[in-house]
Structure 1
Amino acid sequence: MTTASASRSALVSLATAMATVLGVVVAVGGGAASAGAWELPPRDYASWHEYSPATAGGSPGPVVVAPGDIVWYADTLENEIVKVPAAAPAAVEHFRLGAFAPGISDLAAASDGTIWFGDFLNAAIGRLDPATGDVTEHPLGGAFDRATSLTPGPDGALWFGDPSNGGIGRIALDGTISRVPDPGGTGVYDIAAADDGRLWYTRDGAGSLGAYDPATGDLDIVPVGVSGFTGLTAAASGGVWVAGIDTLVKVETDGTVSKRISIPSAPFGSVVPRHLVSADDVDLAFTDADRGLGRVDLWGNVSFSKPPYAGTKPEHLGVTSYGSLWYSDRGRDTLGNV
């Protein structure tokens, strides 16, 4: 046995022993497995941090962590987007959105340093240039069109779910919008750029994912057996994670399901994983309205923890390159990290 294999074996044995004590089902290796939902034991809450909104009376909403570990959040109440360096949270910068007064559903950081957002109130996609403070909006074309789950693609453009038109959309950095219809015309709400160069998306009501290659135009349909999707993200370990009620599924880029985790809902009620993120030190993290922050480790164990503040309700989530989770707390109108 190699030194690396011996170390992994020791880690697995330790994790299994700990799980036996805690009553957790451990998933080892790449096969499908179940994991129990459990509350973390008391911890050192010195690792939790909370920040008031940059503008008094505001309410942090959608969050994205840009390259360089810069945290951005949207504050629709104050009509602004705020920049928060993760290493120096007090050094905030405000960017007012002017007359647009958008309803911001999500944020994305483009390769050129601009920040983009879905604007459901104006049926548009907005763009903020932090270098100048300029804000521009690009209409989607229909009065009820929405751009959801904006994400940078491998081609440098921004891609988005296009539920009103049954497919996915693309907006180039110059604002040009194009669309790719789903073969079944299904509503698409979640999209992620995986490490295989394809855009993966949820096919609402179809129990499957679409995987679109912008370089070739090829589109594959991948069944995953999830009846109602609640989230999707590219996995730092490769492939994608997709969520449904009480369910998390890891899908590799060849279409195989490597993990299928059922989260026991009793006695808490159903678990609804949303705002999925992944990083090298966090295989998967998500938020649940009742349980706070959820995590899945490399063995497929699910755990939950909540910030130690009264009335806390973590919602939108982002993760730094070193695994620090940043979240907007709609119960307290604050920004937090752990």
Structure 2
Amino acid sequence: MSGPQFQSQSQSKPQFTLDVRTVSDGEAGPYALTTGPDGALWFTLVHAGRIGRLVPGGEVTSHRLDPASGPTVITPGPDGALWFTEYRAHRIGRITTDGAVSGFALPTPECGPFGIAAGPDGALWFTETAADRIGRITVDGDVTEFPLPVAGAFPSAIAAGGDGGMWFALNQANALGRIGMDGAVELHPLPTPDAAPVGVAAGPDGAVWFVEIAAGQVGRRTPDGKITEFPLPDRAARPHAVTVADDGTAWFTEWGGNRVGSVTPNGAVATYDLPVPRSEPHGIAVGPDGALWAALETGDLVRVAPA
């Protein structure tokens, strides 16, 4: 059932209404979400080992996986199914829109797959946090792994860029990475030391946005290589995930600040308190209804739309 609504009272920033929808108990852990090809929100329940589905305004359904698999990030695939990482089972999973689940073991043991995104080549690309590798899996399940040129980098989120490559955050190497469709890897260090980037997303203008969980900043890298970092009002907010709306505005979650926020391409920052205390917001995505949706580990999804 829907929860309370909250409206920002500040007159100096755009007004948004936050509507909370409970989708699980507080132990299941909604973690990441995405819009599927069926016009529904699909989300991972990392602690419960389930994949959930919600059509805005409709009922919640969920599909069982191995309870200990740890489904983490989920994304639409080029085959009309949803693909997700199983962080604890070290597998890549696939679920069709009618709920049929399958999975693929990865060649490297204990590799810790985390981020996943469809590439321009018709395959899925993913990060291996514990193995310093980027993986590629075809829709038939063929896996190729590409080693990174740095050890202990902890690659996390990954996204398709507008330049034909895949961009990813190197949390412990303080850099962004890019891998081409030929497997060639480039590293792009960040200006702020020990910023610990986690989330990454590509904008419609070809810029790559990222969040720095340890520095309390949101960053933007233009196609010509210029990096700009935008400090958040609360530098201890621990921004976690980022997505980009159609107008080029980046939206992010503040895992430590219990907020969602936005940054325009010209650097205007706004943040919005979440109506659920200590909700631990993780993933964020544009929903099928055009609103922003975020996953709260308390068992809720929150919808963010203009007031």
| TM-score > 0.5, shorter chain as reference | yes
- 1:123/1:140 contact within 8 Å kept: yes
* Change beyond 3 A, Cα 1:197–1:51: same
Greater helix proportion: 1
* Change beyond 3 A, Cα 1:336–1:282: farther
* Change beyond 3 A, Cα 1:69–1:299: farther
1:219-230 map, 5 Å: 219-226=185-192, 227=194, 228-230=196-198
- Which segment drifts farther, 218-227 or 205-214? 218-227
Deviations, residues 144-201 of structure 1 (Å, cap 9, x unaligned): 2111111111112111112222121111111111111112243322221111111112
Gaps of 5+ in 1: 1-38
* Change beyond 3 A, Cα 1:46–1:151: closer
* Change beyond 3 A, Cα 1:317–1:204: closer
- Residues of 1 paired with 2:179 and 2:26: CA distance? 43
- Residues of 2 paired with 1:277 and 1:304: CA distance? 15
Selected match of 1:240 from 197, 200, 208: 208
**TM-score (normalised: structure 1):** 0.76
Selected match of 1:179 from 136, 139, 145: 145
- Counterpart position of 1:125: 92
1:83 pairs with 2:53: yes
Gaps of 5+ in 2: 1-7
* Change beyond 3 A, Cα 1:302–1:175: same
1:64 pairs with 2:70: no
Give the secondary-structure state (helix, strand or coil) at the position aligned to 2:116: strand
- Residues of 2 paired with 1:248 and 1:313: CA distance? 18
* Change beyond 3 A, Cα 1:223–1:65: same
Give the secondary-structure state (helix, strand or coil) at the position aligned to 1:48: strand
- 1:279/1:320 contact within 8 Å kept: no
- 1:280/1:322 contact within 8 Å kept: no
Identity of aligned residues (%): 25
- Matched to 2:121, the amino acid is D
Greater strand proportion: 2
- Matched to 1:335, the amino acid is L
C-alpha RMSD of the superposition: 2.8
* Change beyond 3 A, Cα 1:40–1:250: farther
- Counterpart position of 1:286: 252
Give the secondary-structure state (helix, strand or coil) at the position aligned to 1:327: strand
- Counterpart position of 2:128: 162
1:334 pairs with 2:300: yes
Give the secondary-structure state (helix, strand or coil) at the position aligned to 2:249: strand
State the number of aligned residues: 290
**TM-score (normalised: structure 2):** 0.83
Selected match of 1:207 from 156, 164, 174: 174
- Residues of 2 paired with 1:329 and 1:315: CA distance? 6
- Which segment drifts farther, 228-237 or 313-322? 313-322
- Residues of 2 paired with 1:72 and 1:130: CA distance? 9
